[in-house]
Structures are given as C-alpha cells and as structure tokens.
Structure 1
Amino acid sequence: MSNVDAHAATIHRLYEECLNQGRTDLLPELVTANVVNHTGSNEQRGLAAFEQGMQQVRAMYPDRHFTVDDVLANGDKGAARWTMVATNTVPILGVAPTGRQLTNHGVVFYRFEGVKIAEVWIQVDQLGVLRQIGVQIPGLPAKAGAER
C-alpha cells in the first residue's frame, strides 16, 4: 500500500472507527503522540488533548454519525470533507437542547508523519448548526425548518 493509500485509509478509520464507533483506543495507531490540532483560534497539542476533543464531540452528540464524503491525499498531506448527522441533546452556546436532528459539514486538512496524522486543521459549519437550533443571526434570514 502506498503512503497516499495509507493516508486515505487512516482518515477513513479515524471517522468510522474512532468517531462513529468510539474506539479511541485506536488513536495511537492513527495519530502521533505529539499531534497538533488547530481548531479555529485554538491549538491543542498531544494525543491526550486530541482524544479529549473527540470525547467532547461524543458528549455533545451521543448519536453522531460521520460520513466521509471525500478524501484526497498527496505526499504528506490529506484532506477530508464530511457530513455529521446528530441529535441536539445538550445545550449549545447556552441554547437549550431542541431534540432536533442536526446536519453539520466540515473540511479537515491533515499532515502526516509516516502513516500517522501529525497535524490537523479543522473548519466546521458552526453558523449552520446555530441556525438549525433556532439562533437568529442579525442580517441573515431564519433557517428554513428551524421552527420544527
């Protein structure tokens, strides 16, 4: 298996086995010990912080399911475009849970060392989630279906 194929397989395993199935015990096989996770303006370092971020996603969306829509890999870089479907069962930024099913989209870029993920840059549609739970954003029309 080439590194490009191995990188794509690692990305798929991260979503299917770790995020969807909760198998964080597999993270040492997929991620370096000193992984750097860039999320918005935050930067987290190390495997423990990476796992903690995954646990936060699981706590916030217990029934989450990620679908990897696209994976690209080239050299020591990779990228994934994903869709997550989950039920809003906990408060988000102080907004009470709605019990509604949410759909979130994200794009993540990866840098690999060997066949393990060493660095991650995450961009998710946070505005879309807020609109789906009914947050009114000045200057934007209400999201269709937000009143359900």
Structure 2
Amino acid sequence: MACLNRQDWARLGSFVAEEARHNGRPFGLAGYRAMLEQDFRAIPDLQFAIDLLVIEPPHIAARLAFTCTPVGDFLGLPVNGRTVSFTENVFYGFKAGKIAEVFSIVDRQAIAAQLQG
C-alpha cells in the first residue's frame, strides 16, 4: 500500500508479478501499473488505507477505505470533484512472493448514495 500511495511505479514490480491478473483478466505488470496510474489521474488525492486485513497464505484479503475527490465521472457516476467515501474489497493471490491475482470490487452503491444525498 505504501508503494501505491507514494506512486512509486519503479518499485511496483517488487510486489506485483509480471503475469498479474486483475478480476480474471490478464493485465500483466504493465497493465496493472497503467490501471493504477489512470486511477491517480482520475483521483489526484487517492490514498489506499487498510480497514480490515486477513492473511491466509498464499492469499491476503483486505477491505480498503477511501475518502477522495475524483474529477469527472468515476465508475460511471458524475462525481465531478465532490469528496466521496467508499470501500473496496480485494483478494490478492501470491506466487513466488508477488501478487499474481487480484479480485476486487468497489462499493459503487455507497458513492451513488452520497451523490443523491
């Protein structure tokens, strides 16, 4: 998480495998990095915070908490610079000490509710 929060893309390969997959799609390290870079462009104040962590090798499960200000649309919702709070549930699968598989889902409904209220 510290590597992501620092946007230390040069070190991302120390934690993520070259053949990494995200939600069943073959992304590779380069694709995973590109996705994260896009996330930070869309959400300049993005910071990853661990709310809950469960470790059962070779897997890690986490509930990540975010309070941030996406610019424009985010997950198809017109956030447009409003500050929103939401969570992401993510499962990491490791191979040879690196993240090889990521399954994640963002609580889009929580964001939609904030935009309506």
Is TM (by shorter chain) over 0.5?
yes
TM range (shorter): 0.7 to 0.9
Task: Find runs of 4+ consecutive structure 1 residues off by over 6 angstroms.
Answer: none
Match of 1:95 among 71, 78, 81: 78
2:29 alignment partner in structure 1:
47
**Structure 1, unaligned stretches of length 5 or more?**
1-14, 135-145
- Indicate yes or no: 2:11 matched with 1:26: yes
Name the amino acid aligned to 2:88: G
2:38 alignment partner in structure 1:
56
The Cα of 1:49 is off from its aligned counterpart by: 0.9
The Cα of 1:95 is off from its aligned counterpart by: 2.3
Tell which structure's C-alpha radius of gyration is larger: 1
**Structure 2, unaligned stretches of length 5 or more?**
none
Which structure shows the higher strand fraction? 2
Match of 2:63 among 81, 99, 121: 81
- RMSD over aligned CA atoms reads 1.7
What are the superposed Cα offsets for residues 123-148 of structure 1, whole Å, 9 maximum, x if unpaired? Answer: 110121122223xxxxxxxxxxx2xx
Aligned length: 116
Aligned pairs (5 A) from 1:130-141: 130-134=112-116
Identity of aligned residues (%): 25
